[in-house]
Amino acid sequence: MTDWANPGIDLHLDLGAGRGVRTRLEQALRQAVRDGRLAPGTQLPSSRVLAQDLGIARNTVREVYDQLVAEGWLTARQGSGTRVARETFAEPSRSKAAPVVSTTAELTESSHGQNYPYDLRPGSPDLSSFPRHVWLTASRRALAAAPHEAFGYTDPRGQLDLRESLAEYLARVRGVRTTPDLILVCSGFVQAIGLLGRALYKIGGRQIAVEAPGLPDPPTILRNAGLETVQLSLDADGACVDQLADEDAVLLTPSHQFPTGAAMPPARRTAAVAWASKHGAVIVEDDYDGEFRYDRQPVGAIQGLAPHHVAYAGTTSKSLAPGLRLGWLVLPPHLLEPVVCEKHLADRHCPALDQLTLAELITSGGYDRHVRHMRARYRRRRDQLVTALVQHAPHVRVSGIAAGLHAVLELPADGPTEDELVTRAQQQGLALTGMASFGSRTGPALVVGYGRPPEHAFAGALERLCAVLETTGL
């Protein structure tokens, strides 16, 4: 069976520094599986190909594969190659029959690497803070006011009420310049990037530049849409846009680079826009946590500089909850039809009720209030994190803290590896993620998602983090 998710079986591994190459490869593969970067069932490159890619001996790769098969991380079957084991961290299934395949259960992020009592992995807000009562009240108002037609097959762009509220909100809060007819309501960023990818491909696009390090999923989705992804380096100011050449598009996280947290300064934004304009290319702006800026005036969206060259993606996944699957694309005019037609083919349009509820929430001011409230709470956590690190692990450099729900902790190069720290943390019941998960080739670092824990568990999570970091001190 072909590995239909990754036809070229790209496998990025950061082997780090120190020790023997065999040990480093083992650790890198274990980490990649633990973090979920390599999902259960994923086919790995053959030992010959991986050895070539990494520039190491084929026997070394074979021995590592054998070792990890023996440990249960991988499986090897005649004619099927070496794959990530399916039963690695299976949660006990609640279904009455034995599941035929447990792989799908393991696609959930929460089940990757087991559930831990304390969790500082990035990627999620505090789920306990989803404002259920406020949402239900808005839902009741929305249901009372909605015309019957709202529950039929409607505009693929989404409910007009929501698009009008969003146009106003985004202009006010993020400096986005658009009109309701250019907004497409999507089922989160994953759908948005998939629709964009397919639309770009269909109008002739073939290459998109993606930040590296960065989230692994968007490039996978873009490649699945037929595009080739080209890596774009980062520095302290975010993506190195001067490296852009003749790609058809670039995917950026300019307000708060994921994972480094860098904010792209004005001159670089202007340069990105100039490049897009000159080449007729598209900037895809992933504004995943744009409402959470702590220390100064929010950095407006790049979209406001060039509405005809930027596809702006926003989401409620961090401000409300990932489970809503409610996001949006603000499209440049030339992409409206191709992208909206992909949406129509994909699932017609997004569900009506949640859209009407969000529109009501925005219009009533309830959404602003909630975001302000959460911004204050996440800022407090950011402060507590910084203070704790100063006290307990002054050798650790923290960055990316001006915004968002995560920060980067740079570790001493000669201390424990990311892998070792993550393991130590797990032994204390704390889940952590290393920077290598996102393709980083720089020194060891942790990406700490201080937004994730429920309020009552935050202090405990911070305690355990500091305990682990203290062991890295000189």
Residues 136-165 that bind a second copy (CB under 8 A): 136, 139-140, 143-144, 148-157, 160, 164
SS3 379: helix
Determine the Cα–Cα distance for residues 404 and 241; give it in Å rounded to an integer: 22
Q: Supply the minimum distance, in Å, between the C-beta of residue 213 and a second copy.
A: 20
SS3 442: coil
- 77 binds a second copy, rule: CB under 8 A: no
- 182 binds a second copy, rule: CB under 8 A: yes
Q: Supply the minimum distance, in Å, between the C-beta of residue 28 and a second copy.
A: 24
Six-digit token string for 282:
């598209």
- 314 binds a second copy, rule: CB under 8 A: no
8 Å CB contact between 453 and 377: no
Q: Taking every pair of C-alpha atoms in the chain, what is the biggest distance, in angstroms? A: 68
Considering only residues 31, 75, 191, 319, which one is a binding residue for a second copy as defined by CB under 8 A? 191
Q: Supply the minimum distance, in Å, between the C-beta of residue 328 and a second copy.
A: 13
Q: Residues touching a second copy: how many (CB under 8 A)?
A: 84
Considering only residues 94, 278, 296, 456, which one is a binding residue for a second copy as defined by CB under 8 A? 94
- 322 binds a second copy, rule: CB under 8 A: yes
What residues numbered 411-470 form the site for a second copy, per CB under 8 A? Answer: 454
Distances (CA, A) of 127 to 319, 368, 376, 452: 10, 18, 16, 7
140-148's contacts with Cβ under 8 Å and 24+ in sequence apart are 141/360, 141/364, 142/353, 142/356, 142/357, 142/359, 142/360, 143/353, 143/356, 145/356, 145/360, 146/352, 146/356
**Nearest to a second copy of 19, 140 (CB atom):** 140
8 Å CB contact between 430 and 105: no
Q: Supply the minimum distance, in Å, between the C-beta of residue 41 and a second copy.
A: 7
8 Å CB contact between 238 and 258: no
What residues numbered 209-238 form the site for a second copy, per CB under 8 A? Answer: 220-221, 224
**Nearest to a second copy of 149, 246 (CB atom):** 149
- 130 binds a second copy, rule: CB under 8 A: yes
8 Å CB contact between 312 and 287: yes
- Among the residue ranges 198-206, 358-366, 426-434, 457-465, the one whose residues contact a second copy (CB under 8 A): 198-206
- 373 binds a second copy, rule: CB under 8 A: no
Considering only residues 21, 49, 190, 457, which one is a binding residue for a second copy as defined by CB under 8 A? 190
Determine the Cα–Cα distance for residues 413 and 415; give it in Å rounded to an integer: 6
Considering only residues 16, 41, 122, 216, which one is a binding residue for a second copy as defined by CB under 8 A? 41
